[in-house]
Amino acid sequence: MRIIAGKFRGRKLKSPSSNETRPTSDRLRETLFNILAPRIEGSRFLDLCAGTGAVGIEALSRGAAQVSFVDESRKICSLIEDNLNSIEISSGDYRLIPAEVADCLRRHVKKAEELFDIIYFDPPYAIDYDGVLNFIGEHASQILDTDGVVIVEHHKKKALADQFGAIKRYRELKQGDSILSFYRT
């Protein structure tokens, strides 16, 4: 797995030896960032269920100001940290949060932390998407910047609602077995 474009282009990333994560394919990542290109520069990016960190690292490579990586597995967080260190990304450019996604979002709202421009949610296919998306939709003004976007990667057989609270789907992109659903307020 490699960084596709930007200042870290071509750099290799480590992947876990087990099937603990399902990394976003290079092709789908490239498509995603071609769509997000006008939004990336200087953005605050939240990578939920970050896995290898490839999506968030790609965002940093393309000019995101700050990326927050969230994954509940400490082993996977260690892998993300190894990938960030191997590319020599400054610790001021990212936050690594070892936590379950719903807990992380609840703490974020409670602390009234910064708003995100882009939220990328790519959970294991077995997870309950609706709970997390309902929370984001109900607390959008406390999590998502005014022009912010939420992108959800899911299997083509997993149907997601067109709306979760204040966020509404405005675009859907199918590629292979995966779908990217784009939501905004």
Write the CATH number for 43: 3.40.50.150
In sequence order, what are the residues at sequence separation of 6 or more whose Cβ sits closer than 8 angstroms to the Cβ of residue 175?
A: 27, 28, 31
* Number of independent structural domains in the chain: 1
CB 109 within 8 A of CB 138: no
Quick check: is 14 in a domain?
Answer: no
- Please state, in angstroms and as integers, the Cα–Cα distance from residue 173 to each residue in 27, 30, 156, following that order: 13, 13, 10
Strand partners, 2: 12
Burial of 133 (0-12, 13-18, 19+ CB in 10 A): buried
9 falls within a domain: no
Rg (CA), the chain: 15
Would you say residue 147 lies in a domain? yes
In a domain, 4, yes or no: no
Look at the chain and count its residues.
185
The answer as to whether 81 is a domain residue is: yes
Is 139 part of a structural domain of the chain?
A: yes
CA distances from 157 to 5, 160, 177, 178, 179 (A): 30, 10, 8, 9, 9
Which residue type occupies 46? Answer: L
Handedness of CA 112, 65, 49, 180 (dihedral sign): positive
Write out the chain's pLDDT in tens, 185 residues: 888 999 999 999 888 766 555 667 778 889 999 999 999 999 999 999 998 999 999 999 999 999 999 999 999 999 999 999 999 898 889 999 999 999 999 999 999 889 999 999 998 766 789 999 999 999 999 999 999 999 999 999 999 999 999 999 999 999 999 999 999 99
**Residue 6 within any structural domain of the chain:** no
Identify the domain containing residue 33 by its residue range.
26-184
For residue 78, tell me if it sits in a domain: yes
β-strands 144-155, 116-121 pairing: parallel
How many CB atoms within 10 Å of residue 118? 23
The pair of three-digit structure tokens given for residue 158, joined into one six-digit string: 């997993």
